[in-house]
């Protein structure tokens, strides 16, 4: 279970999040919606260990996450993607996937010199997982292309695949559907359902309400740093305050 309890974050004198709480159980997809500047990315950044909250707590299975230490949070099983995919554009799709894998035996100089056999075995194992992941994402035919040559939607799928190479218990996804064509959005939604079926916790920031309605079990709505509503997608759509502050706004 991922728990965010009464988290507040300020930048200078500006309060970006005010006592925000949410819970996300295993095998669930949780949407975070709200107008621009309402604090969605800030919340994701607190969970990802980028920002240290002024007060409140974030726990995974009862253990506090390491605030301000994103590498430690990632090692604890929390992976995140960004609004603009972070890829090595001049490396191939396959090479990017390999870089996404955690615990590569070749990482340490000690291993490289003293356990070359183990390193080679591990590399082979990672390569076959990367291959399988590319097949799963429908990107196998792009394996040897530069990552920079993929469409925006394919790049977003690739970053999700890179995350999955580390087998995270929690995925934090920042606007995966933005700028993506409808066919790839459907593919993303199918992948999210699979990740849920595998027992993972998915937190999803998204402006695409169709995507939210299609995949989310529960939705939390932020407005000016405050949590103003939570519920099923249907409950959120019917919530007058949400419609006034967000859904009623022209796109």
Ligand X SMILES: Nc1ncnc2c1ncn2[C@@H]1O[C@H](COP(=O)(O)OP(=O)(O)OP(=O)(O)O)[C@@H](O)[C@H]1O
Q: Which of 1, 6, 25, 37 binds ligand X (CB under 6 A)?
A: 37
Q: Residue 41, SS3?
A: helix
Does residue number 40 form part of the binding site for ligand X (CB under 6 A)?
A: yes
From 208, 184, 212, 171, select the one nearest 82 (Cα to Cα).
Answer: 171
Beta pairing class for 63-64 and 55-60: antiparallel
Q: Minimal distance in Å, beta carbon 8 to ligand X? A: 12
Residue number with CB closer to ligand X (75 or 224): 224
Does residue number 16 form part of the binding site for ligand X (CB under 6 A)?
A: yes
Residue number with CB closer to ligand X (26 or 35): 35
Backbone angles phi, psi at 65, to 5 degrees: -80, 160
Q: Which of 42, 155, 159, 230 binds ligand X (CB under 6 A)?
A: 42
Does residue number 34 form part of the binding site for ligand X (CB under 6 A)?
A: yes
Q: Minimal distance in Å, beta carbon 83 to ligand X? A: 7
Stretch that binds ligand X, among 29-37, 89-97, 186-194, 226-234 (CB under 6 A): 29-37
Q: Minimal distance in Å, beta carbon 53 to ligand X? A: 13
Q: Residue 143, SS3?
A: coil
Cβ atoms 118, 176 nearer than 8 A: no
Q: Alpha-carbon torsion 201, 161, 215, 175, what sign?
A: positive
Does residue number 144 form part of the binding site for ligand X (CB under 6 A)?
A: no
Bridge partners, residue 5, by sequence:
57
Q: Minimal distance in Å, beta carbon 51 to ligand X? A: 8
From 197, 141, 103, select the one nearest 157 (Cα to Cα).
Answer: 141
Provide the H-helix boundaries in 198-232.
209-215
Strand order of the β-sheet with 28-33 is 78-80, 170-174, 201-205, 28-33, 218-223, 226-231
Stretch that binds ligand X, among 31-39, 142-150, 152-160, 239-247 (CB under 6 A): 31-39
Q: Minimal distance in Å, beta carbon 44 to ligand X? A: 8
Instruction: Write out the residues near ligand X by the rule CB under 6 A.
Output: 11, 16, 34, 36-42
């Amino acid at each position: 279970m991922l728990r965010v309890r009464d988290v507040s974050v300020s930048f200078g004198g500006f309060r970006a999040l005010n006592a925000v709480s949410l819970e996300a159980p295993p095998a669930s997809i949780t949407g975070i919606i709200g107008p621009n500047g309402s604090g969605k990315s800030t919340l994701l950044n607190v969970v990802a260990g980028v920002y240290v909250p002024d007060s409140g707590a974030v726990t995974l299975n009862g253990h506090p996450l390491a605030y301000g230490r994103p590498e430690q949070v990632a090692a604890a099983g929390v992976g995140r993607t960004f609004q603009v995919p972070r890829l090595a554009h001049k490396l191939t799709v396959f090479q990017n996937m390999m870089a996404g894998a955690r615990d590569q035996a070749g990482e340490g100089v000690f291993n490289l010199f003293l356990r070359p056999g183990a390193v080679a075995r591990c590399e082979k194992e990672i390569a076959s997982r990367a291959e399988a992941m590319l097949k799963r994402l429908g990107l196998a035919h792009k394996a040897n292309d530069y990552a920079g040559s993929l469409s925006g939607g394919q790049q977003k799928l690739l970053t999700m695949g890179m995350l999955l190479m580390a087998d995270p218990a929690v995925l934090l996804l920042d606007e995966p559907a933005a700028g993506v064509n409808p066919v790839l959005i459907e593919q993303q939604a199918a992948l999210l359902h699979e990740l849920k079926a595998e027992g993972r916790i998915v937190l999803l920031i998204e402006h695409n309400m169709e995507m939210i309605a299609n995949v989310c079990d529960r939705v939390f709505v932020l407005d000016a740093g405050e949590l103003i509503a939570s519920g099923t997608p249907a409950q959120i759509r019917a919530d007058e305050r949400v419609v006034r502050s967000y859904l009623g706004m022209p796109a």
